[in-house]
Structure 1
């Protein structure tokens, strides 16, 4: 009995340290930043059993192997289809502004496509106005409507969109709706699922959560895109989920969510449609590649009056690796005069943080606008851990006070704009399915600058002197939540 106990104890002891050793080796050989590697090792060694579980759930970069192979196959097939667009010279342009050239060159080399021109762009900032325009477009749809959202929460304005979709489906329009399982949990528990499916709307629950899949996929891998496609010609994307901002998370008492959406008419819908097609095929196994628009289809092509150039960057497992992270870095390093960033969640990678600080130190006016109050307490405190280094480098940090600023944008020298769904945090940079528009256009940049300055008018500039004399307990909390930053 005694020998059996000793044997079991030694077996468990050796097994435990073999597990710790194997995880240590795995963390060290993964392509991680030095700080992230050190933090994960500290977590595993200081709280061993809990730390191992947290790492397996939130950091081990695995997806089901069959799924990852399928994503690669779908993307490669669709990428071959994208290359056919090169034959349509009337929508392509190979010359960029000086500040945009490096980023567009990266997109061309990694995604195989030049910038697409002859699009009509519109920036939308008022949620009621966005929904009103969207509902009008839905009612005018002639062929198809495709949507993907991270969050769809029933109630208020969201119900009006649902009713419009039902009306269009009943008159024969093909309607597809893809929603993230975790983000849209309230939708999938509501009556709307049955009502909309009964009307003929195809609804897919993306990255469905269940206990079994927890052992085969990171539980925080999410479908974070927000895309609307109508007739393969009109497209929306940006930061807004399908929610009523007045009702959404009202109990948090942080105010109304402030979003930024881009509505585009033109051929860029084709490339965004390919991204949607990849996501749809991954979840359903069915291919729905959009048709390439012809020059005679829409008057906008004939006018040749739109000089904007747009690239679409899609990220997520199976898509070109680290494209959004690379794009942010190149955009920041391209800045010569001014860089303005808006993000609700500021937990940048070491490389992005260094690029922002370096830009300020070489004379670029760098402005970051973040919400003063956040819906995530973890992120709110972790973000502050980066303030000191940013302020020491001369970065101006504005804290928005009129609600939760949810807009995700980057403006370089009022010429190069990046707008989409990606936050400046670890999940958006490395993990989630995201989409970002890269727009090379001075007029569009001026419009975005006006919106960003409007945010600044409702913000308070963080005073460096006051910040550096903050209480000691605040510093401890910031460092503690920074310690958890790999989970954010």
Structure 2
């Protein structure tokens, strides 16, 4: 018995030291900030038992060899498709506004082409009206409908969308639906999956969660995009999940969720379709590239629309840090006004520094966040950044009329970023996300009006009052700040 005990102890010790060595090596080879290295190394060496479970959960790469091979193939095919798209020269904007030049140059170096024009854009702020408009477009679809959402919660208006999708599939429309396994767990436990598949809809459970996956790969990487593509011509994207705003999480007593979506008609749908095709191939192994735009129809319908649009996407298998770099570029481009709306404010060190720096050089910087929050962890982690932001001259507005879930950045009322990205580590480094970048003063003014309405429905955080908060809250803020790289 003693021999067995000593042998077991020896094997456990060897396994532990191998884990420490492996984890340390993996941390050091990652291209991240110094604070990232320090946080992880402190956790591993100060909390050895806790660190094993944390590392297994947070730091195993999602894409195994099979998926990496598919990702490389999908990206290679997408690049060839984008090369063909570049022949449509009249779709591309030659010159951008001064404030947008840097970020569009970044995107051009990344994608190989300039911003795309000839698009009709519409901002949607009322979730009920957005869903009604989406249902109308689904019924009017002639060829195909593709959807991807983080959350589809059955009930109410979401069921109306499901019925419209089923009826469209039955009349011959090719429908594909991809939903995140964790976010849409209630959908995959509902009868809708079987009903949809029997109607001919291809339903895919993205990043499927199971017990084996928990031990073999990280499960916190999620499919966080929200996209609807109709007839390779109409696009919906933004912060809205497929839920009924009158039902979703009302048990929390926080009010309705406030979202921001864009509806776009035009050739930008093709580039967003490439992103959808990439995600679809990662999950299924099947290639479904969209057709190239119809030059004549688009040229005749939208020849006078000059708004320049680029699309950036992130996620495993895609180039790293692209959204983070775009956000930094947008922030530094501000000359007189920067407005940010985000439900989760846990910025990277570089992004925090950028926001504070532009505020210190006289830019009017406003950040709008929800006063009422569905995540206690993120709420307390966010508070750890308030003092530095306020001291730099940043105005922090806390939205009081529901849960502000909109994700947007507006620079000098000209450059707009709207999409699915939260200002937290998970969105910036891990999840499958999408953001559209729009260079247009008309769209910028529309977004500004929406953000000013958010501000009027918010309370301004006073720096002096904030500095007098209770001592115990400061301790909690520091604790959650320490965990912020894991959130």
Please report the TM-score for the alignment, with normalisation by the length of structure 2.
0.97
Checking the alignment, whether the CA contact within 8 Å between 2:120 and 2:302 is kept in structure 1 is no
Matched with 1:58 is 58
CA distance in 2, matches of 1:258, 1:73: 38
Matching residue of 2:292: 292
CA contact (8 A) 2:62 2:221 kept: no
Count of residues paired in the alignment: 487
Which residue pairs with 2:130 in the alignment?
A: 130
Shift of 1:301: 3.7
**1:170 maps onto 2:138 in alignment:** no
SS of equivalent residue, structure 1 residue 145: strand
After superposition, residues 342-361 of structure 1 pair within 5 angstroms as 342-361=341-360
Change (3 A) 1:139 1:50: same
**Residue number in structure 1 paired with 2:44:** 44
Aligned residues of 1:295 and 1:302 also touching (Cα < 8 A): no
**Per the alignment, in what secondary structure is the counterpart of residue 116 of structure 1?**
coil
Instruction: Quote the Cα distance in structure 2 between the aligned partners of 1:444 and 1:12.
Output: 60
The gaps in structure 1 that reach 5 residues or longer are none
Aligned to 1:463: 462
Partner of 1:333: 332
Matched, 1:475 2:469: no
1:151 to 1:4, Cα distance in 2 relative to 1, 3 A: closer
What's the CA shift for 1:210? 1.3
SS in 2 for 1:148: strand
Report the counterpart of residue 218 of structure 1 in structure 2: 218
Q: 1:421-460 maps to which residues of 2 (within 5 A)?
A: 421-460=420-459
| 1:240 corresponds to | 240
Q: What residue is the counterpart of 1:308 in the other structure?
A: 307
Change (3 A) 1:270 1:12: closer
Change (3 A) 1:208 1:8: closer
Q: Partners of 2:178 and 2:302 in 1: how far apart?
A: 35
Distance (Å, rounded) in 1 between the aligned partners of 2:300 and 2:90: 7
How far 1:465 sits from its partner (Å)? 0.2
Q: 1:149–1:180: 8 Å Cα contact kept in structure 2?
A: yes
Q: CA deviation at 1:8?
A: 4.8
Contact 1:329 1:355 in 2 (8 A): yes
1:414-455 Cα deviation digits (max 9, x unpaired): 100000011101011011111100000000000000000000
- Secondary structure, aligned partner of 1:244: coil
Aligned counterpart, 1:82: 82
State the partner residue of 1:26.
26
1:189-200 to structure 2, matched below 5 A, reads 189-200=189-200
Distance, in Å, in 2 between the alignment partners of 1:100 and 1:139 is 37
Give the Cα separation in 2 of the matches to 1:89 and 1:47: 57
Deviations 1:181-234 (A, max 9, x none): 111000000011111111111111111111222233211011100000001001
Structure 1's 274 and 149: CA in aligned 2 closer, same or farther, altered over 3 A? same
The superposition leaves residues 137-182 of structure 1 with CA deviations (integer Å, 9 ceiling, x where unpaired) of 1111111111000000000110010111111111111111000111
Q: Mark the CA change 1:14 to 1:288 in structure 2 (over 3 Å): closer, same or farther.
A: closer
In 2, Cα distance between the equivalents of 1:308 and 1:7?
Answer: 69
The equivalent of 2:365 in structure 1 is 366
Give SS of 1:296's match.
Answer: helix
Separation in structure 1 between the aligned mates of residue 136 and residue 22 of structure 2, nearest angstrom: 57
Q: Alpha-carbon deviation of 1:32?
A: 2.2
Contact (CA 8 Å) 1:236, 1:264: kept in 2 or not?
yes
Deviations 1:332-368 (A, max 9, x none): 1111111100000001111111110111011111100
Deviation track 1:262-306 (CA, whole Å, cap 9, x = no partner) reads: 0001110011111111111111122111111222224x6455211
**Residues 2 and 367 (structure 1), Cα distance of their counterparts in 2 relative to 1, 3 Å cut:** same
Residues of 1 paired with 2:377 and 2:294: CA distance?
Answer: 49
C-alpha separation in 1, matches of 2:372 and 2:117:
39
Shift of 1:66: 1.8
Contact 2:313 2:323 in 1 (8 A): yes
Give the Cα separation in 2 of the matches to 1:7 and 1:406: 54
Check conservation: 1:311, 1:437, Cα contact below 8 A: yes
- Rounded Cα–Cα distance in structure 1 between residues aligned with 2:285 and 2:369: 39
CA contact (8 A) 1:322 1:430 kept: yes
39-48 vs 476-485, greater mean Cα deviation: 39-48
**Residue 382 in structure 1 maps to residue 377 in structure 2:** no
RMSD: 1.5
Deviation at 1:29, TM superposition (A): 3.0
Q: Equivalents in 2 of 1:421, 1:427: separation in Å?
A: 12
Q: Which moved more, 1:252-261 or 1:82-91?
A: 82-91
2:411 is aligned to 412
Specify the alignment match of 1:110 in structure 2.
Answer: 110
Deviation at 1:82, TM superposition (A): 1.0
- The normalised TM-score by structure 1 is 0.97
Distance 2:477 2:48 in 1: 23
Deviation at 1:46, TM superposition (A): 2.7
